[in-house]
């Protein structure tokens, strides 16, 4: 028997609310299957399972706020006898005001859509369930979640407004996200000895190749400079392995795979950095498609747990407009983050002459427990070299 536990979905996550089970006892599951949905400050996350077997028992109840590592279910391996593991603790009590119900004695019935929870309106599963319980029409609410989606806090705010209490401020969802991000980044700066190296890269070759490549492509198939930058970062990480991996209780563990986290700004505020798995092995076309898909699902609040927990290195860019450079903060347990300022014309020296050329300023923030300025410089130099031969990316 194995215990399926609440995964860590980022350094800024301490707990998540279980809002939907997609399996029931007796169901077979395979590695990669989505078995539950958990709501966090960053939206609804689809939770995957990473082992084969049969669902023996659902330990956690819908509506519970569960800390990272709390047991969610018991999974029986094929051919294994029915014997509950000894390390399954009692489920964490539901949030204040929720009724404590034994998952065996009183299973939670599935939510049946009603007139109070119509389909077609972007809303998290928890918000739909609570709105149905309270008889609140979703179309009457204004969403504060990613992409304007209605989240649990929006429903609760309307419910509280009907009572004689001060009306809560709008943007509670984003405020909670900012609070979680601030706590994680403050911890990162306290515990990780950051160092920074910066390098300006001539983008003339990359810009010319990109223009020629996109000339005969329809808009939906065109590549962006961001795809070239990400591929170059992933390939450079192959050569300088000290920037790619995790640092934990046993020190630095380099990663053979390069799962590149992509920082995505959410509409209305907030930030997530889900991973593009095996970014170094993807073609530029595949990488561009993955970036578009990840951005769309991040802003809709529907990411997978693997995307939120498996990044080994993070890339963050300002896009086509903004300042020349920025320095990032490492996302634990990763050991590095690469940031890119906005590409634009900059004075460069070429053949002894100062010219104006398309360039981008890249900054590496890295963990001094794992690497140093010399290794960081080698990484950025390798990244630069990749961008000078864009046809090989």
Instruction: For residues 169 and 230, state if they share a domain.
Output: no
Instruction: For residues 222 and 129, state if they share a domain.
Output: no
Q: Is 331 helix (H, G, I), strand (E, B) or coil?
A: coil
Instruction: For residues 358 and 261, state if they share a domain.
Output: yes
Instruction: For residues 256 and 353, state if they share a domain.
Output: yes
Other C-beta atoms within 10 Å of 71: how many?
20
Q: Considering the entire predicted model, what is its pTM?
A: 0.74
Q: pLDDT class for 362, splitting at 50, 70, 90? A: very high
pLDDT exceeding 70 applies to what percent of the chain?
Answer: 87
pLDDT at 344 over 80: yes
Instruction: For residues 35 and 156, state if they share a domain.
Output: no
Residue where a domain terminates, one of 191, 208, 238: 191
* Count of domains forming the chain: 3
Q: For residues 154 and 130, what is the distance between their CA atoms, to the nearest angstrom? A: 10
**pLDDT tens readout for residues 294-329:** 999 988 878 899 999 899 999 999 888 789 999 999
Burial classification of residue 391, based on how many CB atoms lie within 10 Å of its CB (0-12 exposed, 13-18 middle, 19 or more buried): exposed
Instruction: For residues 133 and 242, state if they share a domain.
Output: no
> Half-sphere exposure (CA, 13 Å, Cβ side) for 299?
13
Q: Is 99 helix (H, G, I), strand (E, B) or coil?
A: coil
> Half-sphere exposure (CA, 13 Å, Cβ side) for 64?
24
Q: b/e map of 249-276 (b: 16 or more CB within 10 Å)?
A: eeebeebeebbbbbbbebeeebebbbbb
Domain span at residue 128?
A: 111-191
**pLDDT tens readout for residues 162-177:** 554 444 454 666 777 7
Q: Which of 36-50, 89-103, 332-346 has the highest mean pLDDT?
A: 332-346
Q: Residue 376: enclosing H or E segment and its boundaries?
A: helix 373-388
Question: What does pLDDT average to over the chain?
Answer: 85
Instruction: For residues 271 and 354, state if they share a domain.
Output: yes
Q: For residues 279 and 369, what is the distance between their CA atoms, to the nearest angstrom? A: 25
Instruction: For residues 94 and 162, state if they share a domain.
Output: no
Q: pLDDT class for 121, splitting at 50, 70, 90? A: confident
Instruction: For residues 104 and 117, state if they share a domain.
Output: no
**Helix, strand, coil % (nearest 5) of the chain?**
30, 25, 40
Instruction: For residues 103 and 237, state if they share a domain.
Output: no
Q: Residue 367: enclosing H or E segment and its boundaries?
A: strand 353-367
Residue where a domain terminates, one of 110, 144, 163: 110
* Higher pLDDT among residues 76 and 270, named by residue: 76
């Amino acid at each position: 028997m194995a215990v399926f536990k609440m995964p860590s979905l980022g350094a800024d996550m301490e707990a998540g609310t279980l809002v939907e089970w997609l399996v029931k006892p007796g169901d077979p599951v395979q590695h990669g299957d989505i078995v539950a949905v958990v709501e966090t400050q960053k939206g609804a996350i689809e939770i995957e399972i990473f082992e084969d077997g049969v669902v023996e028992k659902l330990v956690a109840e819908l509506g519970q706020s569960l800390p990272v590592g709390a047991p969610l279910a018991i999974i029986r391996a094929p051919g294994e006898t029915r014997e509950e593991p000894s390390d399954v603790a009692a489920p964490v009590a539901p949030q204040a005001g929720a009724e404590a119900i034994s998952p065996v004695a009183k299973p939670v019935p599935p939510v049946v859509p009603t007139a109070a929870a119509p389909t077609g309106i972007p809303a998290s599963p928890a918000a739909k369930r609570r709105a149905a319980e309270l008889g609140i029409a979703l179309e009457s609410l204004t969403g504060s979640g990613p992409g304007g989606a209605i989240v649990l806090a929006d429903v609760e705010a309307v419910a509280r407004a009907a009572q004689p209490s001060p009306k809560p401020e709008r943007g509670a969802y984003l405020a909670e996200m900012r609070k979680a991000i601030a706590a994680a980044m403050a911890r990162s700066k306290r515990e990780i000895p950051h160092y920074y190296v910066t390098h300006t890269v001539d983008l003339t070759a990359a810009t010319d190749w990109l223009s020629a490549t996109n000339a005969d492509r329809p808009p939906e198939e065109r590549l962006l400079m961001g795809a070239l930058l990400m591929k170059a970062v992933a390939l450079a990480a192959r050569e300088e392995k000290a920037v790619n991996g995790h640092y934990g209780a046993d020190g630095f563990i380099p990663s053979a795979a390069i799962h590149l986290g992509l920082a995505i700004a959410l509409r209305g505020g907030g930030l997530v950095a889900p991973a593009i798995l095996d970014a170094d092995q993807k073609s530029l076309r595949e990488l561009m498609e993955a970036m578009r898909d990840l951005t769309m699902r991040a802003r809709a609040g529907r990411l997978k747990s693997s995307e939120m927990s498996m990044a080994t290195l993070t890339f963050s860019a300002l896009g086509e407009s903004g300042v020349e450079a920025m320095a990032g903060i490492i996302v634990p347990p990763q050991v590095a983050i690469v940031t890119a300022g906005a590409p634009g014309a900059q004075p460069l020296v070429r053949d002894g002459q100062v010219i104006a050329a398309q360039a981008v300023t890249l900054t590496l923030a890295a963990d001094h427990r794992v690497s140093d300025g010399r290794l960081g410089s080698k990484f950025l130099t390798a990244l630069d070299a990749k961008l000078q031969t864009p046809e090989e990316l």
